[in-house]
Chains A and B, each alone.
Chain A
Amino acid sequence: MIHDQARYTHDETKREPLLSEKDQTTVEIDDDDDGPLPADLTRDSVTLPSLSEPEIARHYTRLSQMNWSIESGPYPLGSCTMKYNPKFTEDVAADPNAAIHPDRAAETVQGNLELRYRLQEYLGTIGGMDAVTLQPPAGAAGEFTGILIAKAYHEHHGNDRSEVIIPASAHGTNFATASMAGYDVVELPPGDDGRVDLEALEAAVSEDTAALMLTNPNTIGLFERDIVEIAEMVHDAGGLLYYDGANLNALLGRARPGDMGFDIMHYNVHKTFATPHGGGGPGAGPVGVVSELESYLPTPQVKQTDSGTYEEFEPERSIGKVHGFTGNWLVLIKTYAYIARLGDEGLLDASAKAVLNANYLASQLDLEIPYGPFHHEFAATSGDRDAADVAKRMLDFGVHPPTTKWPEMVPEAMLTEPTEIETKRSLDSLAEAFNRAYADTDEAIESAPSRTAATRIDQASAARNPRLSWHALEPDE
């Protein structure tokens, strides 16, 4: 049983009471002579949970026991690259000497600047890019940074371009990013082989094209074989080529976006470089560019001086900033530590085993996989079974299911990315979970899961009647 701990409760209505249901206190703000401020500048009172440390420890420990994680078991969410997060990187990031205020004078923080400089260099080498900013705090923020750089580049050259081309199968963030940057989105339908259709691209590219945003391997794991022609087509029209780094794990040490003709790319370090996903962040989304775009990078960048010291500088035509300071520092330390630990051999082995694992797992499945050859991930289809239901049933077999119903070019898609960290034995049990769930009765998959902390959750009720805080719950709810 995977979540038996959740059953240790005598409460029929909930698994673990909210902090506020355990104990709550109201503190009146002292506005007489004892308080430091006059009453018109303070609130009247504050009502919040008031618990002892042992109670808090038990509360969060119990919550953690009702939470699936990479260390709980397989977590093959396609496009998310759920790798094991090496423990030592946490200790490295906790170094008190690295805990520095971002406004400190550069000459007093040479160690932090050195790390930033060296990580810029590492990432540039891995991606085949000439310069890298570490500032974007997530992948989507990296996309936004990259598209702003493209925009600034076109504006500098007097080109008023209005469109960004994005394949229909791209991550939702690509579309939202282009829109936030003020561009119209031109959606590119997929070709019959699941890759970019060159004719459709030809028709889409024009003098209005600011950039093409592309993931490679794409979101069903296929390498865009025509990448050189694609790059030429976009460049000939004066556009730039943007690489979404979500799937970089497939290519580590084997192919580099810079060598394929990409001008701008982001790295998802919480995917490719194993920094923890943290239940939904923090990640980091560094952005690499070719030399022609280097002067547009956000400020500040770090450089090494002739004397070997490090300093910050503002690139000549910098787009400015995308984060209030310099990004998710703790995540960047972990990224550096991971890359330094693996080195060339480790990075090359990571992509080898990620692709081996995906292909081996796929070979053990009874589900059809319409497109290939795929790399680190594949999109199986559950055919006439509802992919979301099959996924819920998989929960009962002690694994996290894949990403479901996306990308839409595969009907009832189950986008699966086991990563390099699974053993053959673990892949075999994952395959068994897939096959058993897929073969199960309609009744079984529609009523699943039953062995998890919560049984099937009513999404419609949550959206129809939003209860977003404990204040919004009825007393007996």
Chain B
Amino acid sequence: MTAHIPDGSPFAPHTTADTKSMLEALEVDTEADLFDIPADVAFDGELGIDAQSERAVRTELAEMFSQNDSLTEFMGRGHYSTYVPSIVDHLADRAEFITSYTQYQPEITQGFLQALFEYQSMLVELTGLPVANCSMYDAATALAEATLLAGRVRSTTGDTVLVPETLRAGKRAVLENYVDGSGMQIETYGMDDGNADLDSLRAIAGEETAAVYAENPTVRGTIEESLSAIADVAHDNEGLFVLGTDLLALSLLSEPASVGADVVVGEADVLGLPTSNGMGLGIFATKETFLRQVPGRLVGASEDADDRRAYTLTLQTREQHIRKERATSNICTNQAWVALRAAIHAAWLGPEGLVSLAEDSVRNAQSLAAEIDEITGYKAPVHDRHHFREFVVHTEQPAAAIAGELASEGFAVHVVGEHELQVCITDVNESAADELVAAFEEVAA
């Protein structure tokens, strides 16, 4: 260890002797001589960041995170927690996967390419659409990219995307920023008892409609019952039907292709990724017709010189590094490692596990809502619909006050209105459901 510079980067491996001989080879005295930074812009101050040992950094961060209140979360609304088996961490954390990068040299990155090809294939199976890319950042940016795709394919007339009034504010804000530069407009249709109000949708649809966006399940947890009719509204106006969903819902609910979806977006991070403060994995799947308009990376099968099957990034002329300002998107680095995690998790569950978890999402939401509904002071679910994983509770008392009291009982739920809470149940928190019901009772009393 004496050979290493004690106060340098612990991850720069140079021995003093090596540094010396390298500097000699370059005929300079110090590394500083290699820099060509004019004096008037050079920084000679201190950043003021103290180097710490690995142990000290771990201690500091452990103490910082222990400042978070330890609450059992019954939360969803676009960021879900499903139990992630240990095998996902252990396989995805293999250095060969996590410390690699985009597969610019496919001959030595066959492993990741095949894993991404398998991820795409799972999405093709679940959506019924033949093309899926190997990731968007999250559901919000995937929706925004789908809208831009719709704008490009309808560039002559359609410039408006129709979205539900309940669209989560964060998604709406991202969509607004993405469409801003394209000249597209966003219009809002109403909801009827949690699901799309077809009359409201039809009233605002027209020849300027480039896309209609709907969700299944909706952000309030209801299962949409009029998907084909919504698709008809889009198609009758020569617009695209963009459907927002997630990997687990896809395993049970109507197959998007069968109800007329042209683009499927949503959260793939319901699998593979534990609760991560909103970090996501965006689904993007579409029809063959729009293949050359797809944003982001696509992995395709090909052959190598020995005529064996091989995988490679393909159709890259859509992408920014080739097409520059005429690319379908600026996306480069995406969420590949999260896609790997989702694929491992999906493989581990298998179709039986996926369907069973999805069915539990319906049953558990229904039974938890029913139990809360029995307590005086609450009505649940607010909507007379089937629910997937989450539902809205009406509270007689102000919802924020109830949520505050639930927090002091150890539970976190969403406040979604003056007298509305939203509760989400998955396999991660279902074992605490009885305690949550007891807390609701306690708070009501």
Contacts and interface: CB of A to CB of B under 8 A. Distances in A.
Contacts of A94: 89
A375 B291 CA distance: 40
B376 interface: no
Contacts of B277: 98-102, 112, 325-326, 329
Nearest to A324: B140
Contacts, number: 644
A239 to B, nearest CB: 18
A337 B305 contact: no
Contact of A353 (B8, B78, B139): B8
Interface stretch (B16-24, B153-161, B197-205, B234-242): B16-24
A1 interface: no
Interface string B122-149: 1111100011101101111100000010
Interface stretch (B49-57, B186-194, B390-398, B432-440): B49-57
Contacts of A50: 350-352
Interface residues of B, number: 186
Interface in A388-446: 391-392, 395, 400-401, 403, 406, 420-424
Residue picked from A26, A40, A48, A97, most chain B C-beta under 10 Å: A48
B346 interface: yes
A42 interface: yes
A296 to B, nearest CB: 12
Contacts of B49: 122, 125, 339-340, 342-344, 347
A98 B276 CA distance: 8
A305 interface: no
A108 B54 contact: no
Interface string A279-309: 1111100000000000000010000000000
Contact of B137 (A19, A75, A138, A148): A138
Contacts of B319: 172
Contacts of B31: 352-353, 355-356
5 contacts: A138-B332, A173-B330, A225-B38, A279-B101, A343-B52
A462 B317 CA distance: 13
B223 A41 contact: yes
A52 B48 CA distance: 52
Residue picked from A342, A375, A400, most chain B C-beta under 10 Å: A342
Contacts of B329: 176, 180
A29 interface: yes
B48 A344 contact: yes
Contacts of A328: 137, 279
A94 B273 CA distance: 11
Interface in A250-285: 251, 253-256, 259-260, 270, 274, 276-283
Interface string B1-18: 000010111111110001
A185 B327 CA distance: 13
A367 to B, nearest CB: 17
Residue picked from A69, A336, A360, most chain B C-beta under 10 Å: A69
A227 interface: yes
Contact of B355 (A29, A90, A112, A279): A29
Nearest to A105: B407
Interface string A183-215: 101000000000000000000000000000000
A141 interface: yes
B445 interface: no
Interface in B160-202: 168, 170-171, 173-174, 176-178, 180-183
Nearest to A97: B65
Interface in B360-412: 362-363, 366, 386, 403, 407, 412
B57 A90 contact: no
Contact of A112 (B32, B65, B254, B352): B65
A346 interface: yes
Interface in A82-125: 82-86, 88, 90-92, 94-95, 97-105, 107-112, 114-115, 122, 125
Given A20-B121, A468-B298, A280 B103 contact: yes
Nearest to B63: A111
B103 to A, nearest CB: 7
A323 B348 contact: no
Nearest to B257: A43
Contacts of B105: 68, 391-392, 395, 400-401
Contacts of B116: 279
A80 B335 CA distance: 16
B67 A110 contact: yes
B141 A323 contact: yes
A470 B121 contact: yes
Contacts of A279: 97-98, 100-103, 109, 112, 115-116, 336-337, 340
A456 B108 CA distance: 10
Nearest to A424: B18
